[in-house]
Structure 1
Amino acid sequence: MTEPTTQRFPAPWTAVELEETFRIEDANGFPVAYVYFSEDWERQNVAGRMSKNEARRIAVRIAALPEMQAELQDHEKRF
């Protein structure tokens, strides 16, 4: 299988904080993922939402995926 010459969701990705949401955007500003949170403890329990800190950690890790994939591909090419 051949890989496309252009990336569908080009790097870098960034995590943008909105109201009770982190939106992960590609280099063109296209949203690729959303991570929802609540700062209200009761709502976290009832609605199953994460805390803001938990959501931020996940959003940052999602945003880092393109760079991690590139590093893994480089590593595989060397070995």
Structure 2
Amino acid sequence: MFHSSATTGHNDHAGGLTFYGVFDDDTAGLLVAVHLPDCVDPRPETQHPYIAYAKQRLIWKHVRVYGGLLVCNSE
């Protein structure tokens, strides 16, 4: 969903839409990373809270290193 929004401007993913607005559709040099948890129960009632936690933790690590939010994570 991010890629679709980032390259077309369709409102499928907030971060992708922000990317499109800031960088047009220029994805050259775009790095996308994926985190695959090893031992998280795949049921939605456990996986969804873990995903929310992992996302916020990674954003916080970026803020601590670079002093601010990522361009596409403004909240």
Higher helix share: 2
TM-score normalised per structure 1: 0.31
More RCO (CA 8 Å, sep 6+): 1
CA radius of gyration, larger in: 1
Per the normalisation by structure 2, the TM-score is 0.32
